[in-house]
Amino acid sequence: MLSSSIQAVRRATLAFLLELSRSQVLGEKIGSAPGAILMLIRIRYNHNTDPSASEKAHEILKNLGKCPDNIKRMAESGFLEPLLNHLIEGSEETQMEMASYLGEVVLEHDSKTYVAERASPCLIQMVQSGNSLVRRAAFQALAEISSYHPNARILVEAGIFHIMADEMFTRTIYNEPMNSKKEAAAILANILESGVDHGSLQINTHGHTMSSDYVVYGIIYMLKNSSPDELNINLIRILMCLSESPKSMTTVVSVIKETEASYTLVELLNNPHEELSVAAIKLLIKLSPYIGHTLAERLCRTRGLPENLIEIPTQPNHITEKQAVSAKLLAKIPHQNLTLNLVLLNKNVVPGILQTINSIQRSGTRSSRYANAYLEGLVGILVRFTTTLYETQILFLARTHNFTQVFTELLVKTSSDEVQRLSAIGLENLSSESTHLSKPPEIKKTKFVKLLYLPKSLSVGSSKSKNILLCPVHRGVCSSQSTFCLVHAKAVERLLACLDHENAGVVEAALAAICTLLDDKVDMDNSVSLLSEAHAIKHVLNAVKEHKQEGLWQKSFWVIEKFLLKGGDKSASDISQDRLFPATLISAFHHGDGNTRQMAEKILRHLNKMPNVSTTNYYTL
């Protein structure tokens, strides 16, 4: 009847409900009726439509608010005033009940900010109570409020940092039926993840901040002393936030080295609590650039590792976050660590990795939320092996599984920039070995042999007219599988296509791979000729004009200089006729670092854009 379109019916219904609501028992029954409180709230806020009905609805809600369950129902329907008023003004028991409701009610974002402004001072005060039940309710409410990142500033201004830090590092209450450290760590992690400047937030009267040694030592101490899983998760979340700042990261790394906490973090990888192991892996990924070789050593000495980090999913669409971050960790630990690479080889992980890569490519990375990240990690693990090809077992592995062909196909069979970048790096590492692995053919002395040099290949003819193709670049017998030759793998065209990529990282990696075909150990004339036929200089000129990164410029200028020296008039003409390239050279000459300026100057001289007297010193004064 409240929803009746007849005004008189609505008013009569409200008048009747008002009388009933004066009884607490009947008021509780009214509130429990489905949709009753929601309808009353709507009428209350429609003051302009029917002021009399609005006033009666307000009185009814006021009466219903004497029942705690009704207060919760009102909050769930968006009417928070009764709950907040009782929280701020009520007795300790009432405050505890309201705080419990606040921790349970699902609020809209706008409401969360309003609640934080009204309730935070009271809740922080309740946390400092001697009543453990009151503290528990307040902690739960603050955890819910802090989970909405825009509330971080409100909580910080209310003084929450000092109180939560005290709970974590100072306060000790025995026989309390709750772990306040866990709750405090969760709240601090929520606030830090919002992006507040933790370096300027003092946590005690001694001037310590969240990024100080005092805090990091305290966190590491708790991690090393077998804290509950939930607390460890929040401690790692805090360390992750601190690691976002270079200054704080220095402190974190220093303390971890000093306390040998890397043992503890690596052991957490085997923890059955998946959320905890995932958090630990993410932190180790952050730390790998600083203590990567230490982590590799720890992994190789820990039961079940590192092979357990490569868990092959049953189906491509069943890839978990743990599988994705585990693969990423192995891909991020320094690739040159031979011990880890040999352990992975001896655990025979490569066949499974290749099979999974093929499976993901067939089903597509959209089949699972973590498929792309997992694929990037798996490709990164393959790249690891290409940095230690001097080890005969790893060289045999790369040949057996034809890594050159694998990376060449990945250049075009992926939608991931990172997979393309990693594939180009893998090809660079493999191609760097080609000159050592490519050997002249073995020729029997009893037979007459004639060498015929062809434009793209060399051949050896015997008396039986048997031909052996020789590589024009490496001057020996080559193949993509045995010598990792980019020419035979047909990788050159695909690498050149990558130079048109929007991602500078992909372009630079592809350039680095192409540079291996122009180093001093190859047949430079043949190599430049081969690259010219593929219109390499056009791709390089486009790349150097599109991107401004220092490393990319240097590699591009290095390639261009090789073409000016060995490419003849055609290459020189192609380069000099590009109208925009001189402007890029001049920009690099004025604004690049020392190496970039030198390289730009050399090319400008080749193009007669500078006099043949050294002016580099003048410009670097």
Q: Residue 447 pLDDT > 80, yes or no?
A: no
pLDDT at 455: 46
- Rounded to whole angstroms, how far apart are CA atoms 193 and 247? 17
Helices 524-533 and 568-576, axial angle in degrees (round to 10): 50
pLDDT at 621: 33
Distances (CA, A) of 617 to 391, 512, 539, 590, 603: 44, 29, 32, 12, 17
Q: In the chain, what is the greatest distance between 2 CA atoms, to the nearest angstrom?
A: 120
- Rounded to whole angstroms, how far apart are CA atoms 387 and 283? 25
Cα-Cα end-to-end distance for the chain: 88
pLDDT at 251: 94
Domain count, the chain: 1
In a domain, 332, yes or no: no
What per-residue string of b and e applies to 54-72 under the rule 16 or more CB within 10 Å gives b?
A: bebbbbbbebbbebbebbb
- Rounded to whole angstroms, how far apart are CA atoms 531 and 514? 9
In a domain, 618, yes or no: yes
Q: Per mean pLDDT, which range of 97-111, 287-301, 336-350 is the poorest?
A: 97-111
pLDDT at 458: 45
pLDDT at 5: 56
The side-by-side arrangement of strands in the sheet containing 458-461 is 450-453, 458-461, 467-470
Phi, psi of 311, rounded to the nearest 5 degrees: -100, 115
Tokens at 398, concatenated: 């790369």
Contacts by 589-595, CB closer than 8 A, 24 or more apart: 589/619, 590/619, 592/550, 592/553, 593/550, 594/620, 595/554
Of the candidates 16, 31, 118, the residue with the CA atom closest to the CA atom of residue 66: 31
Domain range spanning residue 589? 548-621
Helix, strand, coil proportions of the chain in percent (round to 5)? Answer: 65, 5, 30
In a domain, 331, yes or no: no
Tokens at 534, concatenated: 């593929």
Using one digit for the tens of pLDDT, what is the confidence trace for 516-568?
999 999 999 999 999 999 999 999 999 999 998 999 999 999 999 999 998 88
Q: Per mean pLDDT, which range of 14-23, 42-51, 308-317 is the poorest?
A: 42-51
pLDDT at 52: 77
- Rounded to whole angstroms, how far apart are CA atoms 78 and 82? 11
* Inter-residue contact 540 to 553 (CB < 8 Å): no
In a domain, 607, yes or no: yes
pLDDT at 467: 64
Q: Which H/E stretch holds residue 453? A: strand 450-453
In a domain, 585, yes or no: yes
Q: Residue 295 pLDDT > 70, yes or no?
A: yes
> By CB neighbour count within 10 A (0-12 exposed, 13-18 middle, 19+ buried), where does 480 fall?
buried
pLDDT at 39: 85
Q: Which residues contact 482 (CB under 8 A, 6 or more apart)?
A: 399, 437
- The larger pLDDT score, comparing residue 222 to residue 612, is at 222
Q: Which phi-psi region, left, alpha or beta, contains residue 486 (left: φ > 0; alpha: ψ -120 to 50)?
A: alpha
Q: CA dihedral in degrees (147, 152, 157, 161; nearest 10)?
A: 70
Q: Which residues contact 241 (CB under 8 A, 6 or more apart)?
A: 189, 192, 193, 198
DSSP β-ladder status, 450-453 and 458-461 = antiparallel
pLDDT at 321: 96
Phi, psi of 450, rounded to the nearest 5 degrees: -125, 130
- Rounded to whole angstroms, how far apart are CA atoms 44 and 60? 10
Tokens at 561, concatenated: 């200089």
- Average pLDDT along the chain: 88
Q: Residue 448 pLDDT > 50, yes or no?
A: no
Using one digit for the tens of pLDDT, what is the confidence trace for 477-497?
999 999 999 999 999 999 999
In a domain, 561, yes or no: yes
Q: Output the pTM of the full model.
A: 0.87
In a domain, 33, yes or no: no
Using one digit for the tens of pLDDT, what is the confidence trace for 602-618?
988 888 777 665 544 54
DSSP bridge pairs for 459: 452, 469
pLDDT at 114: 92
Using one digit for the tens of pLDDT, what is the confidence trace for 500-528?
999 999 999 999 999 999 999 999 999 99
pLDDT at 567: 84
**Rounded average pLDDT over 427-441:** 94
> By CB neighbour count within 10 A (0-12 exposed, 13-18 middle, 19+ buried), where does 444 fall?
exposed
Q: Which H/E stretch holds residue 451? A: strand 450-453
Using one digit for the tens of pLDDT, what is the confidence trace for 138-185?
999 999 999 999 999 999 999 999 999 999 988 766 556 567 899 999
In a domain, 401, yes or no: no
**Rounded average pLDDT over 101-111:** 87
